[in-house]
Amino acid sequence: MKQKKSLIVLLLSVILFSCEETITDVELPYVEQLVVSCVLENGDLVDSLRLERTLPPLEHYDEDKALVKDAKVQINDGDSTYDLFYSDGYYRTSNLIAQAGKTYKLNVEWKGKKATATTFVPNPVEIPKIEFEIRKTTGQWGEAYEVNVFSMIKPVKNVVYNSGVLNNSQGHGSYDFFNIYREIDVNSDGYCKVSFTNWYFYQPIDTNIIKEIFYDYSGVLSSYDAQFYQYFITRFNGQSGDEIFGGNSNNIQWNIKGDGIGLFIGRSTSYKKFF
């Protein structure tokens, strides 16, 4: 749940932005849109669909103004249609659990606006052997040793993969992953080298030291509906690096259709301890 909501917060921070000051008596072209963010996690109850609306470009972002609390939100799983109810910032169901291999269709209606999307939940990937690769290189402060923690997986069609790490002793991990892998990113044997993390050391490193450092770590591998790829590679479009919340997110490739933007995406997540 924490991972799912962390991604939702990330998506919304990309979509919405703050202005330093409010300018009055100026009108800019503006089309109000619905903003949808929902991750269907394999095995999880569907209880965290976030629905907001875009605000005028010169208006400060205000959660109470942006939140849409009275929309008609439905998800169909191919067998039944579920009506979602609003509670504490999210639209929820009480009995719909996302299942790998199933396709889900979203329909949102609010004040004459309609937003739709379709996604499927991929099957989880069993992470094979965790491997460590030590490479001598040159870092910011001279000679360094790069430790790449990775695994070789065999990707499947229509699925993309996002990887990271979990510190089991602290109960949290890095979910803002920087790498994404597709079915075409493979070697001659059809396998993809998925990197979980890279660490740099400025002294020689050996297996015993690696085991001591990474003993409580696990690799995290998220399998997404392939539609996630276009969002991932365009998610920072239009943003300015010197703004806290970025810019206006031009030309990001969402999978919400109609009078809306955002993501409605299926995912399965696998874990494997480094040791």
Are 196 and 90 members of one domain? no
Are 117 and 231 members of one domain? yes
Are 23 and 118 members of one domain? yes
Residue type present at position 236: F
Are 115 and 150 members of one domain? no
CA distance 85 to 78: 20
Question: Which residue segment(s) compose the domain that 107 sits in?
Answer: 2-123+224-268
Mean pLDDT of 15-37: 65
Spatial contact of 210 and 147, defined as CB atoms under 8 Å apart? yes
Spatial contact of 14 and 236, defined as CB atoms under 8 Å apart? yes
Are 101 and 186 members of one domain? no
**Is 274 inside a domain boundary?**
no
Mean pLDDT of 108-115: 97
CA distance 117 to 97: 18
Are 99 and 152 members of one domain? no
**Is 275 inside a domain boundary?**
no
User: pLDDT tens digits for 63-105?
Assistant: 999 999 999 999 999 999 999 999 999 999 999 999 999 999 9
Q: Which residue has the higher pLDDT, 172 or 124?
A: 124
Q: Is 250's pLDDT higher than 70?
A: no
CA distance 256 to 35: 9
CA distance 162 to 228: 10
Please list the residues that pair with 47 across neighbouring strands. none
Are 62 and 182 members of one domain? no
Are 177 and 236 members of one domain? no
Rounded mean pLDDT of the chain?
Answer: 85
Are 109 and 231 members of one domain? yes
Are 232 and 111 members of one domain? yes
Are 7 and 114 members of one domain? yes
CA distance 237 to 225: 21
Spell out the long-range contacts of 185-193 with Cβ–Cβ below 8 A and sequence spacing 24 or more: 185/155, 186/154, 186/155, 190/154, 191/152, 191/153, 191/154, 192/152, 192/153, 192/154, 192/155, 192/161, 193/150, 193/151, 193/152
How many domains does the chain divide into?
2
Q: Which residue has the higher pLDDT, 140 or 64?
A: 64
